[in-house]
Structure 1
Amino acid sequence: MSSVPAGAQTYPNALSVDSAAPELDSAFFRESRQKMASIRLTEHRPTVGLVLSGGGAKGAAQVGALKYIEELGIPVDLVCGTSIGGLLGGLYAIGYRSDDLRELFLGQDWDYILSDAVDQKYIPYSTKQYNTQYVITIPFHAAAEVLEEGVGRTEGEEYEKKSIASSLPSGLASGLNVGNLIASLTVGFHDRMSFNDFQIPYMCVAANLISCKARNWGGGSLQDAMRSTMSVPGLFEPVRTEGMVLVDGGTRNNFPTDIARAMGADYIIGIDLSDAQPGYDQVNNIGDIASQFFTMLGTDSFNRNIRIPDILIKPRIPEFNMMSFNRQAVDTMLVRGYDAAVAKKDELLRLRERIAAEGAEEGRKDTRRAVDISKTKVTIGAIEYEGISDKEAERLAKMLDFGTGDRVGKAELDDIMSKYQATGAFASLSYSLLGTEEPYRLVFHCKTSPNHSIGLGFRIDSEEWASILLNLGINTNTLWGSRFNFTAKLGQNLKANAHYSLDIAWLPTINVEASISRYSGSLRIGGTDIFSEVSYWSHQELVYLSDVRWKRINFKTGIKNQYNNVDSRTLFGQLVSQEFSKDVLVGDYIGLFANGHYYTLDDYYYPERGVSFAFDANYDFLKAGSSDFSPMLTLRFDLKNIFPLGGRLALISDIHLRDIYTASETIDLEGGVHRDISILHSNFIGGSMSRRYTEGHIPFFGINNVLFVEDHVFSGSLELRYNPIGKLYVSALAGLMESNYTLDRLITEFNPDYYAFGMELGYDFITGPVRLNLHWNQVDRWGLYVSFGYDF
């Protein structure tokens, strides 16, 4: 039987670690010991406790060991665990067995589960576009909210201090997807209850950052218990409950054999996943240091508890770590765990003989086990929301695709959770299916995000050198109402934009927007090798309708005023002034516009599937100060298509067409007739970014900088892209462009002005892609473009 190490009883309940709630532990231990006494009395045998240590992905080895223990028919009368051991132990306690747990390990996309990732199909169009430009987004509370914190709060009520510091993330992930997984596996056990009432009495360990003591979960919310015991600091946000801030229990008690002893186990089987003590040359990078730091925090309790189990199973898995969730690694660890248990066959057989366990599992066949809603749908009796207002709840309820009386499973609940998360209005989300039988009461637990945000983006490239993009969003993380965004681009070329929107119920969003920009650089006239210095500034004001909730489509329609002023002192300004007059350098236009964008790309920079189709129509009918101005119509079409070729290959087509129509004419000093000259109503082509310098700027990889072309312009390119490894991409490109005075001639006299070929090497860093583009065209010959960062 398990022994008590000398000198280990320094804390209440003879535990190796001080507890945050020793009184609760005492009550739980009394009840569990009574259950163990009942087993001894009714089954005439000693009791067996199972203890599972933490270890992340290495928990697969514990599942392999459990498989062999089950094959021997050894009963488990109580189970304790920490971190992944706490998760597996909890599932074991509510009816899951080794085959179920094996399926769990092998059937998940763990990269997805360990993140808050939401499929692109749920994310609103506006959010997708925002995410393509900003490296960092920091949510924050308003000053008024900070000043009003605690007002009206009753004594003892939990609240969060509102400040910019409190708004910063406390982990890479809030735990959305892992929370959804836990909830889906534990239906029937979502109510607050004693864990002694499970099929197998259960306790897991978390660590309370407030008291620096262990939180031994023996009752309450099983979801909170499982979620907190595996809340690895830095990876997941802590679980905040009952005045505690809880993280992974491995920082206090990673191998809780002392708890199994306190619960009344006569014999203890422990499965330990700890690594060997690292040598001097094995602690090198930040990951090694962080891992060893967490290990160090729980070393004292581990050294005491490792001596407690009667049978210690230690799988040999030195080449794997807590994140080794890939299929090959999991398969290997399942086998290694099984083999480690087999190596203890003699000890396990002697234990089986001592307990004479025949028929021990029979008594549990009629006990209640959890429902796995990924396999069995359940009936919903009521739907409720916690943590938000009635109006917000009403808004969210309209997004449901099911109602009371319907049968739902994991797919339906994951779907609605993704929809809610994609609104950006919530810092964390979870759900419970309350009740012990159908119909269950579905409760969504919502914690709203700070309403406001600051965004930062940057880019360094061979055209504009360094640029920074800043964004201030007010009320941007709300479900509806007024929102305000101020955006500024700093660098060689400057731009500022202020955008107010009003979203009411399910009506179109009302928008008012104003912007001002300045461009300074080089401009080349089509058909020449001369680069002209040019500088101009412009501003525009828009009032329009849109819908910010659409996922794949963006549509805007409204009225706008546009003003441009080309600096007459630049070479380009002088050329235009000499050819026409200074009057054509300045223009203030009022018109109508409509544009739309259908967007299904799964990634903006390196998509593997999807299509992007955009159109623009601008009809300017008035030019301030000009009584003889004729209306001008500008049409634009952009189409990008991704054709997966299997494996890591993809073919990408990219087509752009822009046409300008007008009856207005300008006569030069020599009597030549031209259409009205305007930077706003001209076509520009070149570079990698669309609309970089003006609304009339379309991209073409084969031309550096900007080329001024005719009224009707077409460009098309094909890219064969290969992804050899990770986030590295290699592309071969070919393309052409042509411009002409009329659309008829563009089609009937098609003769490319430029055709180009190129190679591009890119790496998709988290801070934005790094790209090196080497290209050739028949006019300029060789060209090079280099960039690092997001496009804006």
Structure 2
Amino acid sequence: SADSLHKILKGMDWDLSLSNNIEENKVIFPEKEHFNNSIFSLPLTSRKVRLPSGMINGQQIENMLSYYTWPAAGINDFTRFPIPFMCLAADLLTGRLVELHSGYLSDAMRASSAVPTIFTPIKLDSALLIDGGVLRNFAAEEARSMGADIIIGSYTGFQTYSEDELQSVPGIIKQIAFQRSHEDYMIQKKITDLLIEPKVREFSSAVFTNVDTLVARGYKAATPHSEYFRRLADSLNMISPQKPIYNILDNQLFAFDRIEITGNKLYTDYQILGVLGISPGEKIDKNLIREKIDLLYGKTWFEKVKYRITSRNDSLILFIDCIEQPKSMLYGGVFYDNNIRAGIIFRATFKDLISQRSFIDFDSFIGQFYRFKLSVLQYIDRNQKFGLSAVFHTDYTRLPILEIRNEMGAAYFRSGYAGVAFSKYIGLNHLMNVSFGLENSSFTPDFIPADQLRKISYRYMSGNYSYKINTIDTKSFPNKGVLFQISVNAARLLSGRIQTDNSRNTYTPSFPHDFLFKSTYSVAGDIKRYFSPNRKLTFVADCNALLIHTKDSTTSPHNYYFAGGQESAFNRSIPLTGFHPGEIPVDRYAGIRLNADLEFHEDLHISLLTNFALAHEAGQDKSLSILGGYGLEIGYMSIIGPVRIGLMQGISKYNRYFSSFKGFISIGFGL
């Protein structure tokens, strides 16, 4: 009905539907870090970089059409619908008009709406189809040939421009492209018994958000003809009672005799069916099949994956149509903030390079304060829920102030890790991880120490259990979802080294000097919740905690965490509004952050930031520090990533080396 269509169109997220994207909470965990997190992503095929087409392939819109046409899935002949249906498409290969009377309804609707240069064409049989409106946008002749006695038409298509409007290249091109269609409309409208032309000329055919206004314009244009509609209904009832229309909307469950996969070369039917998890004979509904298609697409195996249903020889067949993504991808970007400065982001992923179901992920930030990470993951089961991996990473960061052997000043922190991990992926958004590894960390003074210290280094073993949840909808300026992480860690120092201008000495448990070699245990947790009362306003609540326990009298510096900054700058960093990144070393911490973000104009944000925490600062007495902060941030979602500029004020019961009033800036996608 008109009301149900209005409700559907009003409730749709058009930005998402008219894209190739999905929400991040529908992407598998190993791919979340890269998803929509780079300036460019380029597939590698046969050792060549393949440039993207730039057009929308219809991943979202086709799945939406399949969802709403689900009750008609078993009907291939459109004339058998309760109200016979036909739509028009244009064949790019022949230039001819194509009438779509049969097939899979969603495919026909997608072909008939494939606006050139915006959507990719759709291939049906031997034809390459686009929107039939380029040739005929008002199918009165076809309606008459299908048996319509009375034709009531509504035209919202292209109207020719005046001379004054043809002063731009886009206007001239559009006039040329749709001139033939408009001339055809002038002929077709003569066939109608009643023609309605809503005044919608000022609305672009590529904009779908003005639903209420467009519907109101339609009612306004049709209202003068209400008496005609009433008399027509009365006259039809006088001829004979109208037969009730068969309600196919009750068709909600289907069981398929066969499931066939098409278009796959790199990934086997066995792999795809394993993820799909649907068997012949099993009754499924539209919500389940949509969830499974989203799961397949979230694997990032495919540029596009969809389903269609065909009835053949009394059998109902479910087809999964795939357009595969190359197994190797390159990602790139730039990043700058006032902590790690400027650098280039380069990432590469390789699937099935070493063996089937393997995944190699290389991340790098190339700059003065670098970050490098290499992960080699091997899934060990068909459904890719369990994996073994080898992980290597290193980073280099400047700490604004740190006490090193009783002297204060800035320092450089370098860390490296090599380890193995066992992972269990629970659905798309949960990850459990158990890892063991060897770590190295060092502190280098950025001042001249009295004892001529050059570097102090630590080498230690660690074991870690972690559980993560990521259900946010998008990485930059999220509107909804949860980020959760809890980790339990045990570590033991193996050796320490002190390097001065004149010596380099290594210390072990048998010769400890002032190094602390007893085992250390830590628990760290963080939960961040995003929720939006409307599309423009988002609230953020974030709680985090840290507890480090050791039998030594104090905590060794290699176990420190560092509080400060708006975001976590490295793996031992805790965000704390009002302070520089890494400004405060802590070994116990509990904090809460409450932020509010308002998108006051498209892609422009203003955020209020607040923070309160209790912390035990490393190396201090047993008393707890009261820390807090507040700030104001302006953000913009640019083509090179989010841009954030702000001012903040730190609150502390102790006097700090730095001013409590600070500014911050970051540009680019996250590291």
Scaled by the length of structure 2, what TM-score is found?
0.80
2:129 alignment partner AA: L
Q: Matches of 1:491 and 1:390 in 2, distance apart? A: 36
Q: 1:577 to 1:740 in 2, by over 3 A?
A: farther
Deviations 1:276-321 (A, max 9, x none): 434577579xxx9657634521312421441242334322223433
Q: Matches of 2:343 and 2:311 in 1, distance apart? A: 56
Deviations 1:230-283 (A, max 9, x none): 012344332123344322222333334565678798886543212443457757
Residue number among 219, 243, 254 corresponding to 1:379 in the alignment: 254
Matches within 5 A, 1:572-611: 572=447, 574-575=448-449, 578=452, 585-611=456-482
Residue 220 of structure 1 deviates from its aligned partner by: 4.6
Q: Indicate the SS of the match to 1:306.
A: helix
Q: Matches of 2:17 and 2:91 in 1, distance apart? A: 24
Q: Report what 2:29 is aligned to.
A: 125
Q: 1:538 to 1:175 in 2, by over 3 A?
A: closer
Q: Report what 2:187 is aligned to.
A: 307
1:486 maps onto 2:332 in alignment: no
Please, which moves more after superposition, 259-268 or 169-178?
259-268
Residue number among 741, 757, 766 corresponding to 2:630 in the alignment: 757
Residue number among 202, 209, 213 corresponding to 1:329 in the alignment: 213
1:571 maps onto 2:446 in alignment: yes
Residue 526 of structure 1 deviates from its aligned partner by: 6.8
Q: Matches of 1:390 and 1:543 in 2, distance apart? A: 28
Deviations 1:139-171 (A, max 9, x none): 33344xxxxxxxxxxxxxxxxxxx643x62452
Q: Indicate the SS of the match to 1:332.
A: helix
Question: How many matched pairs?
Answer: 639
Residue number among 668, 684, 692 corresponding to 2:562 in the alignment: 684
Higher strand share: 2
Q: Aligned Cα RMSD in Å?
A: 4.3
Q: Indicate the SS of the match to 2:488.
A: strand
1:138 maps onto 2:16 in alignment: no
> Does the 8 Å contact 1:171/1:233 carry over to 2?
no
Greater gyration radius: 1
Residue 697 of structure 1 deviates from its aligned partner by: 2.0
> Does the 8 Å contact 2:478/2:530 carry over to 1?
no
Q: Report what 1:771 is aligned to.
A: 644
Q: Percent identity?
A: 18
Q: Indicate the SS of the match to 2:34.
A: helix
Q: Report what 1:424 is aligned to.
A: 300
Q: Report what 2:661 is aligned to.
A: 782
Residue 677 of structure 1 deviates from its aligned partner by: 4.5
Q: Indicate the SS of the match to 1:134.
A: coil
Residue number among 223, 245, 248 corresponding to 2:131 in the alignment: 248
Q: Report what 1:623 is aligned to.
A: 494
Q: Matches of 1:199 and 1:383 in 2, distance apart? A: 27
Residue 541 of structure 1 deviates from its aligned partner by: 1.3
Q: Matches of 1:370 and 1:283 in 2, distance apart? A: 48
Residue number among 103, 110, 114 corresponding to 2:18 in the alignment: 114
Scaled by the length of structure 1, what TM-score is found?
0.69
Q: Report what 2:498 is aligned to.
A: none
Residue number among 108, 113, 118 corresponding to 1:230 in the alignment: 113
> Does the 8 Å contact 1:619/1:631 carry over to 2?
no
* Structure with greater contact order relative to length (CA < 8 Å, sep ≥ 6): 1
Matches within 5 A, 1:286-305: 293-305=173-185
> Does the 8 Å contact 2:138/2:155 carry over to 1?
yes
Q: 1:733 to 1:404 in 2, by over 3 A?
A: same
Higher helix share: 1
Q: Matches of 2:621 and 2:480 in 1, distance apart? A: 35
1:205 alignment partner AA: L
> Does the 8 Å contact 1:250/1:295 carry over to 2?
no
Q: Matches of 2:95 and 2:547 in 1, distance apart? A: 68
Q: 1:443 to 1:275 in 2, by over 3 A?
A: closer
2:218 alignment partner AA: L
Q: Matches of 2:410 and 2:618 in 1, distance apart? A: 28
Q: Report what 2:499 is aligned to.
A: none
Q: 1:98 to 1:607 in 2, by over 3 A?
A: closer
Residue number among 305, 309, 313 corresponding to 1:433 in the alignment: 309
Q: 1:289 to 1:192 in 2, by over 3 A?
A: farther
> Does the 8 Å contact 1:377/1:407 carry over to 2?
no
Q: Matches of 2:354 and 2:282 in 1, distance apart? A: 29
Q: Matches of 1:550 and 1:191 in 2, distance apart? A: 33
Q: Indicate the SS of the match to 1:126.
A: helix
Q: Indicate the SS of the match to 2:56.
A: strand
Q: Matches of 2:72 and 2:608 in 1, distance apart? A: 56
Q: Indicate the SS of the match to 2:110.
A: helix
Please, which moves more after superposition, 593-602 or 476-485?
476-485
Q: Indicate the SS of the match to 1:227.
A: helix
1:303 alignment partner AA: E
Q: Matches of 2:93 and 2:614 in 1, distance apart? A: 67
Deviations 1:688-707 (A, max 9, x none): 221x24x3222212012432
Q: 1:585 to 1:233 in 2, by over 3 A?
A: farther
Q: Matches of 2:183 and 2:133 in 1, distance apart? A: 13
1:712 maps onto 2:616 in alignment: no
Q: Matches of 2:312 and 2:551 in 1, distance apart? A: 76
Residue 332 of structure 1 deviates from its aligned partner by: 0.7
Q: Report what 2:418 is aligned to.
A: 541
Residue number among 394, 406, 418 corresponding to 1:516 in the alignment: 394
